[in-house]
Amino acid sequence: MADNAHYDICVMGLGYIGLPTAAMLATSGAMVLGVDTNAAVVDTVGRGGIHIEEPGLKTVVRAAIGSGHLRTAAAAAPAGVFIIAVPTPITPDKRADMACVVGAVEAIVPHLRPGNLVILESTSPPGTCAGLVRPILERSGLKVGESLHLAHCPERVLPGRILTELIANDRVIGGHDRASAEKAREVYARFVEGEMFLTDTTTAEMVKIIENTYRDVNIALANETAVLCEKLGIDFWDVARFANRHPRVQLHHAGPGVGGHCISVDPWFLVERFPADTPLIGLARTRNDAMPAHVVARILEIVGDRPNPAVAALGLAYKGNVDDLRESPALEVVRLLREKGCEVRVNDPLVKRAPCETLPLEDCLKDADCAVVLTAHDVYAELDPAWAGTLMRGRNLYDTHHLVNPAAWRAAGFNVTVLGSGRSAE
């Protein structure tokens, strides 16, 4: 196919969402062009490689590229369907940063033809399709709802299970009109086995944002409960276990904070737009953002008055068994510890490009006064306490995820502290 030829689908953004989606569509038989503004991504994927860690992704991308159904480029080209899967982060003052969405939509305008369908997959503040995307698309001279179709189809996959969930999850498809929603459903029917629910664009946008807000508010409640349990001298994990035997209670996990591209970001989209109407949502964000400072205060208690204590930070990624650092509370814990004069050594076997130096586990633990589990990677659950004890200067372990077996660590002579537990060591 020549470079300016007509593709079935053009996917803008080849990240955690766009790349698996493009590869799945290509392996379903569509001719797909994957576009990314990052030249290294275009090159890596174009050669059948991947630039992010995700189980099974390499195989699907290699097959898609190998079959000739997936190609990559730095610029958009004519296609029947355009899918926008670019980042929607927040600015430092907690406002939705829609620059990538605007850039991607503007980039497709010159290629739009009557009958095209544009699908926004990026998580976006309610009203984005109608108020931001539509006016840009109509610069083409085509009218949304007449000669152009527009839909929002948010993504709810879990990193680490993206390919499985891409197929299995139910999807909500919001159309500018019924025809747009139905056309979008046809696209996803190529690989989605979950149920698909059709609605309008703003409802679909709100569904996605409120799913993440629900999680954030509930995690804030768990974190607040954990802090209270520490003060009460009881164990949050017992409280959660017992409370969750109630048929209508599902207390979430407490932890060192909330990270990732979604849960810690999306609630701000509502707070920004409706500041007077979102006291609960804003407070939950503040509660979760306060957890790294809480973690640091406990580490300082554990190491006592030792000057410049050495802390082994186990994990940087925002959640277990992924390499994603975005908004990771572990980064904030490391920053705050250094600010307090701690000598922090960091290990994360999954993260390839960290903003600070990372060390092999052995070097990270060597002569440390305290090891702190900041990310629930399996490798830390499996860590041998006897081996760690031979390396460390102080036998202190602080587990912010309730990940390790405390009895095994205590048997190896460790003082074990678990976030949320106010019990002194048994």
Ligand X SMILES: NC(=O)c1ccc[n+]([C@@H]2O[C@H](COP(=O)([O-])OP(=O)(O)OC[C@H]3O[C@@H](n4cnc5c(N)ncnc54)[C@H](O)[C@@H]3O)[C@@H](O)[C@H]2O)c1
> Which sequence positions are flagged as catalytic?
208, 262
CA pair distance 56, 77, nearest whole angstrom: 28
CA pair distance 24, 401, nearest whole angstrom: 34
Buried b or exposed e, range 262-272, using 16+ CB within 10 angstroms: bbbbbbbbbbb
Contact call for residues 89 and 265 (beta carbons, < 8 A)? yes
Nearest distance, CB of residue 107 and ligand X, angstroms: 6
Nearest distance, CB of residue 239 and ligand X, angstroms: 30
Nearest distance, CB of residue 237 and ligand X, angstroms: 27
User: Which DSSP letter does residue 111 get?
Assistant: G
CA pair distance 331, 354, nearest whole angstrom: 10
* CB neighbourhood size of 142 (10 A): 17
The nearer residue to ligand X, 44 or 396, going by C-beta atoms, is 44
Nearest distance, CB of residue 40 and ligand X, angstroms: 9
Helix and strand numbers, DSSP H then E, in the chain: 18, 13
Nearest distance, CB of residue 356 and ligand X, angstroms: 20
Reduced to 3 states (helix: H, G, I; strand: E, B; else coil), residue 243 is helix
Nearest distance, CB of residue 78 and ligand X, angstroms: 16
CA pair distance 41, 72, nearest whole angstrom: 9
* Beta strand spans in 50-120 (E): 70-73, 79-84, 117-120
The nearer residue to ligand X, 17 or 184, going by C-beta atoms, is 17
* CB neighbourhood size of 314 (10 A): 33
The nearer residue to ligand X, 122 or 347, going by C-beta atoms, is 122
Reduced to 3 states (helix: H, G, I; strand: E, B; else coil), residue 106 is helix
Contact call for residues 124 and 98 (beta carbons, < 8 A)? yes
Binding region for ligand X (CB under 6 A): 12-18, 35-38, 41, 85-88, 100, 103-104, 107, 121-123, 155-157, 159, 261-262
Nearest distance, CB of residue 404 and ligand X, angstroms: 26
The nearer residue to ligand X, 11 or 392, going by C-beta atoms, is 11
Contact call for residues 379 and 348 (beta carbons, < 8 A)? no
Cα Rg, the chain, nearest whole Å: 24
Backbone angles phi, psi at 371, to 5 degrees: -105, 135
Short-list 374, 286, 380, CA closest to 333: 374
The nearer residue to ligand X, 41 or 368, going by C-beta atoms, is 41
> Which region holds residue 100: left if phi is over 0, alpha if psi is between -120 and 50, else beta?
alpha
CA pair distance 144, 233, nearest whole angstrom: 60
Reduced to 3 states (helix: H, G, I; strand: E, B; else coil), residue 377 is coil
Whose CB is nearest to ligand X? 15
CA pair distance 55, 186, nearest whole angstrom: 26
Contact call for residues 313 and 337 (beta carbons, < 8 A)? yes
Nearest distance, CB of residue 165 and ligand X, angstroms: 9
Query: Residue ranges of the alpha helices (H) in 124-200?
Result: 128, 134-137, 162-168, 178-188
